[in-house]
């Protein structure tokens, strides 16, 4: 299950000991809608091991600016509160699965 990432809760979510994956997206973005089911599946598969969040770039433009999000979807992978990997654009489930495994 994904959690909603906002400017208000991001720091507390990021400081958790669990690895974090954040999908930066927007409602009008076609590629974002294409990968949304994949992100949901992976969130279920990695439940308890990886926190998966979704951050609407229009509602949280400060976070998008802070992390240099220029294209969406952009998926950031955090470990120990630091960005360790990034994927830009719609990619396959197998590609994302490898990234999830790498941050465990």
**Which residue is catalytic, options 5, 13, 22, 29?**
29
The DSSP H or E segment spanning 39 is: helix 30-45
Residue with tokens 């958790």: 16
- Is 55 one of the annotated active-site residues of the chain? no
- Is 29 one of the annotated active-site residues of the chain? yes
CA dist 60 and 47 (Å) reads 25
Tokens found for residue 62: 């400060």
**Which residue is catalytic, options 32, 39, 42, 76?**
32
Q: Is 74 exposed, middle or buried (0-12, 13-18, 19+ CB in 10 A)?
A: buried
The catalytic residues are 29, 32
């Amino acid at each position: 299950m994904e959690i909603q990432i906002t400017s208000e809760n991001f720091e507390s979510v990021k400081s958790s000991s669990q690895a974090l994956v954040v999908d930066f997206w927007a409602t009008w973005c076609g590629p974002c809608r294409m990968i949304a089911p994949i992100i949901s599946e992976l969130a279920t598969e990695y439940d308890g091991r990886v926190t998966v969040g979704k951050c609407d770039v229009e509602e949280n433009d400060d976070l998008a600016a802070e992390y240099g999000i220029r294209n969406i979807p952009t998926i950031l992978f955090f470990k120990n509160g630091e960005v360790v990997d990034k994927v830009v654009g719609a990619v396959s489930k197998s590609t994302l699965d490898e990234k999830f495994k790498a941050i465990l």
